[in-house]
Amino acid sequence: MTESAGTDVFSGKTAVITGASAGIGAGFARHAAATGMRLVLADIAEERLTALADELSAAGAEVEAVRTDVSDPASVEQLAERTVARFGSVDMLINNAGIMAMGWSWDIPAERWDAMLRINIGGYVNGLRAFVPRMLAQGTPGWILQVSSIGGLFPSPLMAPYSVTKFGTLALAESLHYELAMRQAPIQVSVVLPDSVQSDIFTAAKRGEGTLPEAQQFNDALQQRSETIGITADEHAHRVFEQVAAGRYWVTPQPEAIDQGVVPRAEMIRARATPVLDLPS
């Protein structure tokens, strides 16, 4: 892979990536390795994580794979300790680990709601609590990428937990950005807003949601959209790293859907208009 001008700023730096074993996270890992970064890969899926780490190591990357439950503060603290023990510092944190739940918001089991909140929000908080103090103590330039979604801008039916957590990621990222600015810390915060990226997230969600016809139909529509207009995880990572290297806070690897929807949404709010359902075709 030929890297774009500007991304060489990442060469030799250490990146920690959660949810790294598949999908968007694996794309980040492969691209970070291509830029010459040292990698700490975290995921609860240990077998897949080890396979990816072996693949990247065989290609010449310096990689540490750490089985991590991001919903457990102690597990994430151990991840930070392993990172420093192996590489001495951390330069980039990519908070990416997340899961999906689909169905009527009142029918989704309490334990599934709880898991979404613990992983998609709590996991990001745990990442910040473990790594930001270390990055501040280093006093060196760094990057924190908070992976949200266009679902963090546009709420969706039948996937309320996902919408809730991705909206929460936006708030967490912006608050963090302000706080680091108050500290005059040399750490760039970027919020990543992917649209459809080819992965197994909808397949995984479908396996866990029973037989609710409406949710399955909606899931299938999203999966088809991902397969037809979605970009690969590797291309997604390439676009993200280019924009992060350029210093962007709002990282939009597929800006079309955002550009088409954000102004009408703002106008709806300004006009106090009742939201209108717009399902994927």
pLDDT at residue 211, as a whole number: 47
Cα atoms in the Cβ-side hemisphere of radius 13 Å centred on 198: 9
**How far apart are the C-alpha atoms of 6 and 80, rounded to whole Å?**
27
Cβ proximity of 17 and 41 under 8 Å:
yes
Give which of 75, 55, 74, 71 is closest to 63, Cα–Cα: 55
pLDDT over 70, % of the chain: 86
SS3 115: helix
**How far apart are the C-alpha atoms of 123 and 128, rounded to whole Å?**
9
162 annotated active-site: yes
Identify the residue with better confidence: 81 or 216. 81
Query: pLDDT tier at 147 (50, 70, 90 boundaries)?
Result: very high
Out of 124, 162, 178, 249, the active site residue is: 162
Mean pLDDT of the chain: 91
Identify the residue with better confidence: 268 or 202. 268
**How far apart are the C-alpha atoms of 237 and 31, rounded to whole Å?**
6
Decide the pairing of beta strands 187-192 and 250-251: parallel
What does each C-alpha distance from 116 to 70, 99, 142, 157, 163 come to in angstroms? 11, 6, 28, 16, 10
pLDDT at residue 6, as a whole number: 78
User: 1-5, 16-20, 40-44, 128-132: which has the minimum mean pLDDT?
Assistant: 1-5
**How far apart are the C-alpha atoms of 97 and 207, rounded to whole Å?**
18
User: 33-42, 167-176, 207-216: which has the minimum mean pLDDT?
Assistant: 207-216
One-letter identity of residue 44 = I
Cβ proximity of 164 and 119 under 8 Å:
no
Question: What mean pLDDT do residues 50-72 have?
Answer: 98
Query: pLDDT tier at 203 (50, 70, 90 boundaries)?
Result: low
The yes-or-no verdict on residue 281 having pLDDT over 90 is no
pLDDT at residue 2, as a whole number: 39
**How far apart are the C-alpha atoms of 202 and 168, rounded to whole Å?**
21
- Quote the Cα angle for 67-204-151, to 5°: 95
One-letter identity of residue 10 = F
pLDDT over 90, % of the chain: 80
Q: At what angle do helices 122-138 and 160-182 cross, to 10 degrees?
A: 20
**How far apart are the C-alpha atoms of 109 and 113, rounded to whole Å?**
6
The yes-or-no verdict on residue 94 having pLDDT over 50 is yes
The yes-or-no verdict on residue 232 having pLDDT over 50 is yes
Question: What mean pLDDT do residues 211-217 have?
Answer: 63
Query: pLDDT tier at 215 (50, 70, 90 boundaries)?
Result: low
Domains of the chain plus CATH, in order, are: 7-195+231-270 (3.40.50.720)
Query: pLDDT tier at 89 (50, 70, 90 boundaries)?
Result: very high
Give which of 23, 150, 16, 25 is closest to 84, Cα–Cα: 16
Structure tokens at 230: 């979605």
pLDDT at residue 200, as a whole number: 62
pLDDT at residue 189, as a whole number: 98
75 C-beta neighbours (distance < 10 Å), count:
18
